Amino acid sequence: MGDSMRFSTFVFKVADSCALQADVYRPADDLIRPVIVWIHGGALIMGSRSRINPDHLDRYIDAGFAVVAIDYRLAPETLLPVIAEDLQDAFAWVRNKLAKSARLDPERVAVVGH
């Protein structure tokens, strides 16, 4: 990461003694930015927010977006309805809490997954 990007990690939810985290990347300015919530792949059984492709991340930042890469609890230990709840909670956190402190536009939220 260069000087043109800021990075922070937050806990957005604690469930079953598991702290679910989100990595926030944004241009190094104070403009209110649209946000991409990035959901990792892995067939719901593996993967991590840290696996975001650096080239893709650079493109999102260069296009003027902030990026929030989230984790969620994984199967088979966690059932699909609970995983969906983790994702809903992440989006609610981005829009209702993170948006103000990280200068994100809660009305311009997109989702990307790989």
List the chain pLDDT tens, one digit each, 114 residues.
557 899 999 999 999 899 999 999 999 999 999 999 999 999 999 999 999 999 999 999 999 999 999 999 999 999 999 999 999 999 999 999 999 999 999 999 999 998
Residue 50's pLDDT is 96
Helix then strand then coil, in percent of the chain rounded to 5, is 30, 40, 30
- Rounded to two decimals, what is the model's pTM? 0.94
Cα 17 from Cα 96, distance rounded (Å): 23
- The pLDDT assigned to 1 comes to 54
Q: What is the pLDDT of residue 2?
A: 55
Burial class (CB in 10 A: 0-12, 13-18, 19+), 36: buried
